[in-house]
Structure formats: structure tokens, C-alpha cells
Amino acid sequence: MKLITTIDALPPALSASISTEERTYIEGIAARSGLPFAVTSHFASLAGPEPDDPIRRQFMPDPRETQCDPFALNDPLGESCHRATPRLIHQYADRALLKTTAHCGGFCRFCFRRVWVAETARGEWMAAPFITAAELEPVLVYLKDHPEIREILVSGGDPLTASNERLEWLFQGLREARPGLRSATPGLREARPNLRIANSALSLRICTRLPITAPDRITPEFVGLLRRFSPLRLAVHINHPRELSPKSRNALTAIVEAGIPVLVQTVLLKDVNDNVETLAALFRECRDLGLIPYYLFQLDLAPGTAHFRVPLKQGLALYRELQGTLVPAPAGTELKDDSSSVPLIPAYAVDLPGGGGKIRLSEESIAGEEERPEGRVYLLKDRNGKLWPYPVE
Ligand SMILES: *Cc1c(COP(=O)(O)O)cnc(C)c1O
Ligand code: SF4
């Protein structure tokens, strides 16, 4: 995939909008081993030249990335505590996450895997290291040994930066590790239907931003590939209604029309989408496209991203307001227990810094407040009542 990696390759209006500070900063990233500057021409074409443009802010390196954040963690989700193999994170009993590649369709400046992506992507990053057979082998062994895992999140980076052939090889490998009855033993499912529960195929969840940043990646061949690997869902990262360009709408519609459920994950970002109008418009449009708003994430504590952080109390107030604004589905389309039921509002959630896992956020999540050497923190309750700090500001 061709990415824009220099200022001069940007659309003229954008490259003319670069300030001296931005230029100096961008040109120094490689020397400082920071997260590279890269954006697709499609995503750049959606951006306006103003420094506060919500699309521009998401990919344009910002000198504030060098500001020291006392709360920053290189591994904000504590993934290293739950690493089953170098590529596999097993944190929740029935699902696990596979890091397939560090390559993305451009780099989001607020990326939660910022350090991992930058470290892996540096240098040879155009040659994107996709998971190799030697790296997949222990993953497959682990999956065979852990039948409680029912779903694999195929994540990265962005797995769709790999070719259809690579993805097919990966999906096939995962399926063969745990084939389920249908493909394993024809006839057995009919003979002993209750076995299916204990031995059903591993479900796949493909986590990607490419339908937004590079909608041309969603070819009919790719949609066909997804269909062949049902049960499979797509989780698409979308932050702003302006990301839903006509091309992206077409791409997402093609996936939905192929019968593939599409979840939407949104990151709450200061001065990008931290207001009710923007979020309500985003979730309404997603719903109208047949997508399922799934998570609205409070920002993780990756280094160099503090200027994107919306204070937690403000996020909670925003979420409450959003619930009041987004009326339930109109009469006659009540939510049913099937794939046509489309919740309009995602869960507001945070990955507790340091490995506490994902929790849904509400006022009740805050068990207290405390002064720490790095600053004032809330104490957030995880599912087991254990407390984890998250900065107040
Ligand atoms: C987010 C996440 C999952 C999936 O959690 P859901 O609540 O099902 O979306 C699984 N594993 C890891 C490590 C995760 O971070
Ligand atoms: S697409 Fe995801 S992994 Fe890639 S830079 Fe953006 S947030 Fe990070």
C-alpha cells in the first residue's frame, strides 16, 4: 500500500498549511525514533488545512507529542502481563488477541500501541513484518490447548495491510487449529448436536481502520474472503462522521450486504470528537449504514498522546448527554434478538492502565481519588473490585 510519508507528498493545500514547528518536528521524528509520519492519500484528501481540523489532527505529527506525561506507559494496556506467545495476548477467558503486523494504513497520532508500532515499524517498516509461519506455530499450539478460547481478534497494527493471500493463509491456519464439527467430521454434528457447543469453530474478529483510510482495499475478492471464513466479524475504527466518505460508505455497505457484522470502535479524542453533536452524528450515520456502534474508548495512556485526552469526568458527562440525545430506534423497529438489532450507543469503556482489562465506565466506576507522585488520579474499580489509577486530568 502506498503511503504518504513526507510533507511534500501531501495534497498542496495541506503541505502549504504545515507550520515551521510542525515541519521541524516531522523532519526530526526518525532521529528521535518516534512514531513515523504516514497517511494514505485517501485519508489526507479528507483533511482540511486548519490546524484544528478533526481529520488533520489525527495523522499530522504534533510537537506536543514530545511533552512529558508523567502518567505515560509504554505498554498502557499491560499486554505483556497476558502474553501467551510473542504474538498472542490472552487476557479474557474466551477470547484472545493476535498481533499480526505493526503496519497500518497510516499512523494515528493517539495510537495506544504507539511504542510497539513505532519500534516494530521503524527502519524496514515499508516491508511490514506480517506474522510468520514460525510465529504462528506456537499460537496454533496454544489454541489447541485452550479450547475455552472461542474468538480470535485479528489485530495489529492493521491486518488488512497484508494481502488477501496472506490473510487467507492466516485464517485457514486459525480455523484448522480448531476446526469445529462442520469441517472436521461431516455427519457428526447431525448425530450429536450438543457436541457443537463444546467444539464449535473459532470465531474471527478482524480489527481494522482500512475501510476508512483506504476504502479501495475492500475489493469484491476481499469481501468474498471474509464470507468464506464465517463466523467472522469486522471491527472498524471510526472516530468522526467526516471519515464516512462516499468511498468508505460503499466499502462498508458491501461488507454489511455480504452478511458480515461490522462493529464500530471509536476513540474519544480531545478537539476531534469530544462533543455531543459530532458523536451523535457519527453513531446515527453508522446505524444508518447498518454498522453496530460497539465501544467508545477513553484514551489509553500511551506516551505522547496526553493532548488527546478528554478528562474522565468530562467524558462521563458527554456520555450521559449522548444517551439523552440519541433517542431509541423508532417505533416498529424495536430491538430484536437477531442481527437486525442495532444498538445506537456504544459502551463507554477504558482499558485499565497496566493490565486491569476493559471496563464499562460510569460514575460508579470511580471508587475514589488520590494524590500520586505523578499527579491526581481516580481509583477505578475493575470487575473484581480491584482498584486501578487513571489520571483526573
Ligand atoms: C479488547 C480486547 C478483547 C476483546 O474484548 P471485547 O470486550 O470482546 O471487545 C480481547 N482481548 C484483548 C487483549 C483485548 O484488549
Ligand atoms: S490503526 Fe490502530 S494500531 Fe494503527 S496507528 Fe491507528 S490506532 Fe494504532
The total of other beta-carbon atoms located within 10 Å of residue 354's CB is: 15
CA 90 to ligand 1 centroid distance, Å: 9
Mean pLDDT of 298-324: 95
Q: Quote the distance between the C-alpha of residue 29 and its chain's center.
A: 24
Does the beta carbon of 7 sit less than 6 angstroms from any atom of ligand 1?
Answer: no
Percentage of the residues of the chain whose pLDDT score is greater than 70: 89
Does the beta carbon of 153 sit less than 6 angstroms from any atom of ligand 1?
Answer: yes
Rounded to the nearest 10°, the torsion over CA 278, 344, 297, 58 is -40
Specify the ligand 1 atom closest to the Cα of 91: 13
CA 380 to ligand 2 centroid distance, Å: 26
Ligand 2, CB cutoff 6 Å, lining residues: 104, 107-108, 111, 113, 117, 156-158, 209, 237
Q: Amino acid identity of 112?
A: F
Sign of the alpha-carbon dihedral angle for 59, 153, 275, 288:
positive
Closest residue by CA, ligand 2 atom 6 = 108
- Among 111-115, 217-221, 284-288, the minimum mean pLDDT is found in 111-115
**Which ligand number lies closest to the CA of residue 94?**
1
Reported as half-sphere exposure (CB side, CA atoms, 13 A), residue 377 has a value of 17
Report residue 169's pLDDT band, with 50, 70 and 90 as the boundaries. Answer: very high
**Which ligand number lies closest to the CA of residue 39?**
2
C-alpha–C-alpha distance, residues 166 and 81, integer Å: 29
CA 235 to ligand 2 centroid distance, Å: 13
CA 258 to ligand 2 centroid distance, Å: 26
Specify the ligand 2 atom closest to the Cα of 207: 2
Q: What is the pLDDT of residue 336?
A: 46
Kindly report, residue by residue over 47-77, the tens digit of the pLDDT. Answer: 999 999 999 999 999 999 999 899 998 888 8
Report residue 184's pLDDT band, with 50, 70 and 90 as the boundaries. Answer: very low
Best residue among 79, 83, 97 to mutate for probing ligand 1's pocket (most ligand atoms within 8 Å of CB) is 97
Instruction: State the cell numbers at 52.
Output: 484544528
Q: What is the pLDDT of residue 253?
A: 98
C-alpha–C-alpha distance, residues 33 and 119, integer Å: 8
Q: What is the pLDDT of residue 83?
A: 92
Does the beta carbon of 359 sit less than 6 angstroms from any atom of ligand 1?
Answer: no
215-253 burial: b if 16+ Cβ within 10 Å, else e: bebbeeebbebbeebeebbbbbbbbbbbbbeebbeebbe
C-alpha–C-alpha distance, residues 99 and 80, integer Å: 12
Average model confidence (pLDDT) across the chain = 89
Instruction: Decide: helix, strand or coil at residue 27.
Output: helix
Q: What is the pLDDT of residue 339?
A: 41
Between 196 and 133, where is the model more confident?
A: 133
User: Does residue 217 register a pLDDT over 50?
Assistant: yes
Reported as half-sphere exposure (CB side, CA atoms, 13 A), residue 283 has a value of 29
The DSSP 8-state label assigned to residue 202 in this structure reads P
